[in-house]
Structure 1
């Protein structure tokens, strides 16, 4: 379903490209209704190749857009917001995808009561199979939440969280974990290549197996470990693999990776409790 709104991105990097690609491919927003800014012409090349208008003027992006995505690095955000603060009006919705930056911090940097929706999308939104967690700022109305939902829901699973602090948890669980899962697909493919499968076939089969397994978790409504147990015949090949994963500390290693990512988001040192 198309949403008739002008969308702007302050920042034209990977997250801008992933979100915009998902919006365009889902038909939610037309490419010609999206504008993005970057600091250099080179930084705009990829969004322009998607049919998005790329410009160097942050204030112009804000002026032309009803919904403005804040998609820059956290250390760059204060300078960008101070630059565009005079152009931000109360009828615009700011949607932040900036990690570790609260709605209140954004409101304070803008210096006026503006609606802000803090979100945490992960990169699979590019293929409309992502996760977007969100929390509305103090000046967001139900209509702002509804607008954000209309834009982001077609990109995957969209959730309004009960607490803003939980976005840091989702950052480690969903924002960082695609990298872990890509690594697992690569490791599975490497094993199959070692045993004789062509790499392209091995990678495709491993990725599709991961996709199907995730779909079973979402649709079968059973505990993941029950689904794992269902595959393990007594004395069989699968339980042998499970044994080797457990012997290597597989579950604890995955938990450490997710917890480490969460604690990094929270500005804490990683803690190991063995």
Structure 2
């Protein structure tokens, strides 16, 4: 069985631009909906090699690139899931929300998260070579929060810079390493609470139905059960960890073996491979 995966926000501007071609009908529709030249703004940032897009621009740009990529594929998928922002593209692919409505919600989400980041400054670090339990203990000791459980050996912590410095020191003492992420806020933590009302209002203003194909929620690591649950869990996701490892594990238990990164980039395929690597080792061969 095949699962379609959609990425989150941390994609370089140059990569996003490659997935937003000129004279494309979906890009043109997006720019009309947003009321600004999306591709041109991405192109300006992409002039700096490796630069990431600002949150309020990154979210609509990556969402549009993701949906365009999905529409261009001829493949069908048995499941969908997305990492953080990627959930919105997953819900479009599964028929739960229209592209235009989702784009309008994503714009509000990006702007609200950007505003929350300014009122409660913070950032994020990736912890490599350490699992969730040990990372959670360090987060508690340092006064930060677990933001992403990405793979058996990769967890992301988020919080104020000074507290993350303490966390990074503890990670080093434990024999693992940490990498500072180029983001503008402590996403998926309490710091994003101020963005919840705006997102809730935006979600309540659009039509959402049950997905035609199961979509795995970041918050529960299980399929959405109703349209109301989609609205509520997308708001909850702002301040709760992305349970990516558990989401991939759930898909594995449901029979998924082909994990397709629908882009832009190949970040989520790489994370899925790190999760399934251990699962493959545990799998008992037929006839064994």
For normalisation by structure 1, the TM-score amounts to 0.28
Greater relative CO, 1 or 2 (CA 8 Å, sep 6+): 2
Q: Which one has the largest radius of gyration?
A: 1
